């Protein structure tokens, strides 16, 4: 049974919502087979009607003139770092969720590799309370798989589930021990929740700081081979099959990984996976500059790997896009490449980057990108956002023609470590509606009220 996204913790939960009409908007919901101009009428938190353009008369509604704009199911990011507790200088629930809303997201899942890691019911409860006070969009929190992310002893997964954990992940670190991984999959049945995996073999990654490829060879840097990721994915798919459990593989970066997932899915393994906008748009060519904004884990890989990710996203082997939004302070990034922190922000640029680099050149169609940007909800047991009548009204209103420079008018995120900063992008989310309530408006977006 999947849950409504709005049942996650956020500031708007339970609030009443007035009616909204998106006037003469192009409604695109590929999963529901909708692509036509309508008056999109939202009432009581749900899609009330897809009326003929300029026909809807709804007393007391806020009317938003949306002629020339695009309404799509709002996005869902199953992989975000909110840095709370412990590194609120980088991000917190308020700034991270606002960045999500600004990017067109109606829900996000926060990772547990905080300081300290989220491994107790009390920690989950405290985060949930903060989200109820501070979060602009619904936020779920995973707990760690192992205590203190030390990889040896499992957390109390059933108790954490009772406290409201949205799943489990040691993201940031792999679960090195196959024995511990197997036990986690056995306990999954008790909690009934997803286990999300950062797949990496530390023995193979060694001291690597970038993809083991041409750029690393040229620069004389230690590389992280693709098989560091794919061998661990293969191990965990085998364990999931053996235990009849399900797993979600995070941030795929390599061709070999896509091939392993495709084979596992064909064999009936319950596995879902994600890819990030930066792995879909960039290659290790970018690290030749030794600009630490392009340093993340897994690293940007070769053009061949990138093509495999794009093909995987197109075919559905890769279920969804996740940003792995990973805010860092300047002091952690403005150091030599080898020492720089790994990770990039991504919530505010995800749609625009995919639109600019993959949709506009005709590599992927818009419907596929829109679908994959919200499909991650299902991997964590949530209803897929939809614009079909009676669906919960989770809507991203997009201006496909908006041209903007990423970061030129600042960020909603507290951190600025975007690998796309300064890029000219086309397409931008202007307004985000969550469960019928306006969660965000771009400052540049004026609206008319009836
Ligand atoms: Zn990770
Ligand atoms: Zn991550």
- Nearest residue to 226 via CA among 240, 238, 239, 210: 210
CB 145 within 8 A of CB 168: yes
pLDDT value for 445: 77
pLDDT value for 447: 55
pLDDT value for 339: 93
pLDDT value for 379: 97
- CA–centroid distance, 354 to ligand 1, in Å, is 21
Q: Which residues of the chain have pLDDT under 50?
A: 448-450
- What is d(CA 213, CA 190) in angstroms, rounded to the nearest whole number? 43
3-state secondary structure of 119: coil
Look-up of token digits 């909800």: 377
- CA–centroid distance, 198 to ligand 1, in Å, is 5
User: Please, is 76 exposed, middle or buried when counting C-beta atoms within 10 Å of its C-beta (0-12, 13-18, 19+)?
Assistant: buried
CB 177 within 8 A of CB 145: no
Catalytic residue among 92, 324, 371, 399: 324
- CA–centroid distance, 249 to ligand 1, in Å, is 10
Residue 432 has phi, psi (to 5 degrees) of -125, 130
pLDDT value for 382: 98
Residue 106 has phi, psi (to 5 degrees) of -110, 0
- CA–centroid distance, 172 to ligand 2, in Å, is 6
- CA–centroid distance, 90 to ligand 1, in Å, is 17
Strands (E), 206-319: 210-211, 223-224, 246-249, 270-275
Angle of the 366-374 helix axis to the 303-315 helix axis, nearest 10? 80
Residue 300 has phi, psi (to 5 degrees) of -65, 135
pLDDT digits (tens, 9 = 90+) for 84-143: 999 999 999 999 999 999 999 999 999 999 999 999 999 999 999 999 999 999 999 999
Angle of the 93-102 helix axis to the 121-134 helix axis, nearest 10? 60
- What is d(CA 78, CA 320) in angstroms, rounded to the nearest whole number? 9
Ligand nearest to the CA of 323: 2
Cis upstream peptide for 112 (omega within 30°): no
- What is d(CA 59, CA 297) in angstroms, rounded to the nearest whole number? 51
pLDDT value for 448: 45
Q: Residue 49 is encoded by which pair of tokens?
A: 């009607």
pLDDT value for 446: 62
* CB-based neighbours (< 5 A) of ligand 2, an ion: 171, 324
pLDDT value for 420: 97
- In the residue annotation, 29 being an active-site residue is answered as no
- What is d(CA 155, CA 160) in angstroms, rounded to the nearest whole number? 8
């Amino acid at each position: 049974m999947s849950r409504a996204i709005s049942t996650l913790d956020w500031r708007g939960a339970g609030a009443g919502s007035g009616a909204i009409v998106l006037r003469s908007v192009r409604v695109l919901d590929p999963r529901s087979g909708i692509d036509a101009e309508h008056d999109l009428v939202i009432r009581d938190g749900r899609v009330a009607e897809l009326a003929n353009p300029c026909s809807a008369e709804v007393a007391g509604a806020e009317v938003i003139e949306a002629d020339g704009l695009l309404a799509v199911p709002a996005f869902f990011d199953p992989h975000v770092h909110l840095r709370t507790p412990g590194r609120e200088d980088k991000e917190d629930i308020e700034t991270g969720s606002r960045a999500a809303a600004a990017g067109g997201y109606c829900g996000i899942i926060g990772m547990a590799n905080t300081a300290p890691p989220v491994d107790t019911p009390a920690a989950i409860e405290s985060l949930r309370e903060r989200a109820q006070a501070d979060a602009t969009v619904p936020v779920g929190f995973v707990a760690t798989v192992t205590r203190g992310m030390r990889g040896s002893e499992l957390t109390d997964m059933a108790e954490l589930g009772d406290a409201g954990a949205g799943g489990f992940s040691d993201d940031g670190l792999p679960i090195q021990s196959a024995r511990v991984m197997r036990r986690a999959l056995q306990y999954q049945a008790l909690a009934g929740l997803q286990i999300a995996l950062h797949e990496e073999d530390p023995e193979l990654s060694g001291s690597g700081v970038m993809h083991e490829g041409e750029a690393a060879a040229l620069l004389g840097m230690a590389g992280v081979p693709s098989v560091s990721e794919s061998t661990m994915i293969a191990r965990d798919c085998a364990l999931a099959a053996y235990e009849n459990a399900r797993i979600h593989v995070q941030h795929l970066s390599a061709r070999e990984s896509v091939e392993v997932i495709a084979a596992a899915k064909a064999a009936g393994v319950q596995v879902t996976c994600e890819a990030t906008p930066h792995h879909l748009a960039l290659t290790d060519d970018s690290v030749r500059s030794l600009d630490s904004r392009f340093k993340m884990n897994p690293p940007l890989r070769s053009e061949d790997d990138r093509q495999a990710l794009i093909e995987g996203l197109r075919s559905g082997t890769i279920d969804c896009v996740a940003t792995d939004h990973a805010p860092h302070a300047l002091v952690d990034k403005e150091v030599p490449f080898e020492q720089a922190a790994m990770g990039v922000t991504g919530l505010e640029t995800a749609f625009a980057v995919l639109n600019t680099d993959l949709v506009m050149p005709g590599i992927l169609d818009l419907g596929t990108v829109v679908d994959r940007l919200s499909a991650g909800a299902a991997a964590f047991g949530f209803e897929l956002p939809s614009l079909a009548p009676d669906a919960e009204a989770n809507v991203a209103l997009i201006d496909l023609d908006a041209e903007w420079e990423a970061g030129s008018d600042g960020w909603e995120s507290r951190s600025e470590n975007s690998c796309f900063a300064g890029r000219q992008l086309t397409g931008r989310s202007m307004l985000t509606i969550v469960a019928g309530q306006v969660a965000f408006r771009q400052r540049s977006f004026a609206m008319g009220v009836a």
